[in-house]
Structure 1
Amino acid sequence: MGFEKAGAERKLQLQELECLRLEAYENSRLYKEKVRAIHDKNIKRRKFRPGDLVLLYNSRLRLMPGKLRSRWKGPNRVEKVEPYGVFHLRHPSSNKILKVNGHRLKLYHGEKMKDNKELEIFHLEDPSSADD
């Protein structure tokens, strides 16, 4: 009799343990869904069109960047946009095309580049003083 009662008690404990484990799995799934939703909401979608000027992030400077060295290279011109955030870039001084992920790009807000690539050079001189 004691064995039958102990066996029945053990079966009830195992059922309860299984219910707790299933509840933990469900709670974990709900937590992951909420965290994924928050993460996806905070991701910035990069929308560049062909012809836009962008700066390219240089991830190799992470180890020893130097005090005043910029991590952004460019500006580069977007040549082609592919699905899933792949962009084809061309630097104005070369004909090579780079394929990069859109997360490594940001919009260049400087002045528009001229297609003829002419540079205007200004020579700076000290102002004349009243003593001269």
Structure 2
Amino acid sequence: MEAYESSKIYKDQTNKWHDAKVVKKDVSVGDLVLLFKSRVKVFPGQLRSCLSGPFKVTHISAYGAFELWSEDGQSFKVNGQRVRRYYNGDEQGTIEVLYLGEPLPEKESE
């Protein structure tokens, strides 16, 4: 019985450690994501990206599986650990410009 209790304690501690390391994704339905390709083979002289996409998220299950929709009309499910959020550049914040020198004199039009 002590071995079973020790095993139970070990499993509980391992689950707590694993759950603390899991990062929540900031992805919701309708967002664009990139898919991590784990089977990329690197050939000398060629650069290949390990990410493909973008794909649109159509459904997120309670256990972390994502249903993605590709542009050719196919829908497929992947593990949530394989997706990365896609930033297309439109989501940049506003930029405030501060001029630290003297203002330039304005030219008068004649």
1:26 maps to what in 2?
A: 5
Taking the aligned partners of 2:3 and 2:13, their CA distance within structure 1 comes to 15
> 1:82 and 1:34, CA in 2 relative to 1: closer, same or farther beyond 3 A?
closer
Match of 1:41 among 16, 20, 42: 20
Q: So what's the TM-score if we normalise by structure 1? A: 0.56
The more displaced of 32-41 and 83-92 is: 83-92
Gaps of at least 5 residues in structure 1 are: 1-21, 113-132
Taking the aligned partners of 2:4 and 2:60, their CA distance within structure 1 comes to 41
Hey, which of these two has a bigger chunk of helix by percent?
A: 1
Q: Does 1 or 2 have the higher relative contact order (CA < 8 Å, sep 6+)?
A: 2
> 1:32 and 1:80, CA in 2 relative to 1: closer, same or farther beyond 3 A?
closer
Higher Cα radius of gyration: 1
Q: So what's the TM-score if we normalise by structure 2? A: 0.65
CA-atom RMSD, angstroms?
Answer: 2.1
- 3-state SS of 2:63 partner: helix
Gaps of at least 5 residues in structure 2 are: 91-110
Taking the aligned partners of 1:42 and 1:100, their CA distance within structure 2 comes to 20
1:80 maps to what in 2?
A: 59
Moved beyond 4 Å, runs of 4+: none
Amino acid at match of 1:65: V
Taking the aligned partners of 2:62 and 2:32, their CA distance within structure 1 comes to 19
- 3-state SS of 1:84 partner: coil
| CA drift at 1:73 | 0.5
1:95 maps to what in 2?
A: 73
2:88 maps to what in 1?
A: 110
| CA drift at 1:44 | 1.8
Count how many residue pairs are aligned between Structure 1 and Structure 2: 88
